[in-house]
Amino acid sequence: MTIPIKDKTGIAKMREACAVAATVLENLKPLVRPGVTTQDLEEAGRDWIARLGARSACYGYQHGSRRYPAHTCISVNDEVVHGIPSFRRILREGDIVSLDIVVWHDGYIGDNAFTVPVGPVSPAVEKLLRVTREALDLGIRQAQVGHRIGDVSHAIQQFVEANGFSVVRDMVGHGVGVSMHEPPEIPNFGRKGTGDKIKPGMTLAIEPMVNLGAYKTKTLSDGWTVVVADGTPSAHFEHTVLTTERGPEILTIPRPAATQVST
Ligand code: MF3
Ligand code: CO
């Protein structure tokens, strides 16, 4: 499958959608504290998405015969991705919470994720967050015109494994645009110089999912929540990136406070 190249209009619309996704995420981060439920975060996310004139790309998202039931994905500790918010899930000090926000705005999709610690966390978990975040930066830095997707994958895997953690194999990053998942797939593991060539005008969701223990995952009986098989904590950081002749540009950057609310 060929990788969609966005034209000027598509890029402008991707900028808007990604700014909305990032602004929603930015507004959720400070709400993460002990005693808050993942349903509280869901409701705040749902309201921010609406306030910014967008729609959740997750709500009603179809996978097989199931439809995702919430506006946000909120994954705690050993939950990797697609955690379903719940009023029964109360955050406690030492937890980590991955917030994954995907919005639809004017026909285009912005996708980003961030893992937030709940108060102080153990040194090992603190390192997990730092390494995953740095792995995302290193991956983005490889998203240069003329490079290949495998260069991104390799940079992420190499750094994560050198730090003693593992990259999830069962889920991958992806192209993003008029739909949530477009070509190419962007695994967080792979070999340099392999895969599709990067050209200007691609919009790529790069998203390392990193486990403190082994990489194996399984899906819970709710049909959505992906957890680490050995029960160790998992972190997830994601940006949507535009490839340009001048290098990668992160599109999921929040708007300044004064322009956040579109009326
Ligand atoms: N960022 C997630 C993904 O790319 C969001 C999925 S929304 C859900 O898979 F509906 F599947 F949960
Ligand atoms: Co994604």
Q: Which domains does the chain have, with CATH numbers?
A: 8-258 (3.90.230.10)
Mean pLDDT computed over 189-211? 98
Q: What is the pLDDT of residue 1?
A: 80
Average pLDDT score over residue span 75-82: 98
Over 70: is that where the pLDDT of 161 sits?
yes
Mean pLDDT value of segment 219-225: 98
Per-residue confidence (pLDDT) for residue 261, from 0 to 100:
55
pLDDT on residue 148: 98
Residue 115 has pLDDT above 60, yes or no: yes
Band the pLDDT of 257: cuts 50, 70, 90.
Answer: low
> What three-state secondary structure class fits 154?
helix
User: From CA 131, how far away is CA 213, in angstroms rounded?
Assistant: 14
Cα-to-centroid distance, 258 and ligand 2 (Å): 28
d(CA 114, CA 238): 7
- Give, for ligand 1, the residue of 46, 56, 100, 217 to mutate: max count of ligand atoms closer than 8 Å to Cβ: 100
Q: How far is the CA of 257 from the centre of ligand 1 (A)?
A: 27
Q: What is the mean pLDDT of residues 181-192?
A: 98
Q: Is the pLDDT of residue 167 over 60?
A: yes
Sign of the CA dihedral running 33, 34, 36, 38 = positive
pLDDT per residue as tens digits for the range 130-152: 999 999 999 999 999 999 999 99
Q: What is the pLDDT of residue 171?
A: 98
- One-letter amino acid for residue 221 of the chain: S
State the DSSP string of 233-257: -EEE-BEEEEEETTEEEE---PPPG
Res. 109: pLDDT tops 90: yes
Which protein residues touch ligand 1 with a CB less than 6 Å away? 58, 61, 68, 73, 82, 100, 102, 111, 180
How far apart (Å, rounded) are the C-alpha atoms in residues 244 and 198?
9
pLDDT band at 220 (very low <50, low <70, confident <90, very high): very high
pLDDT of residue 256: 77
pLDDT the model gives residue 176: 98
Is residue 255 scored above 90 in pLDDT? Answer: no
Who wins on pLDDT, 259 or 54?
54
Residue 20: C-alpha distances to residues 37, 75, 160, 179, 194 (Å): 23, 21, 29, 16, 33
Ligand 1, atom 8: nearest CA belongs to which residue? 58
**Residue 30, C-beta contacts closer than 8 angstroms, at least 6 positions apart:** none
What are the backbone dihedrals phi and psi of residue 235, each rounded to the nearest 5 degrees, phi first?
-120, 155
What local confidence, expressed as pLDDT, does residue 121 receive?
A: 98
Mean pLDDT of the chain: 97
| Ligand with minimal distance to 173 CA | 2
What local confidence, expressed as pLDDT, does residue 259 receive? 52
Query: Residues of the chain with pLDDT > 70: what percent?
Result: 97
Q: Is the distance from CB of 4 to CB of 11 less than 8 angstroms?
A: no
Residue 93: pLDDT band with limits 50, 70, 90: very high
- CA–CA separation, 117 vs 29, rounded Å? 9
pLDDT of residue 209: 99
Please state, in angstroms and rounded to a whole number, the distance separating the CA atoms of residues 111 and 30. Answer: 19
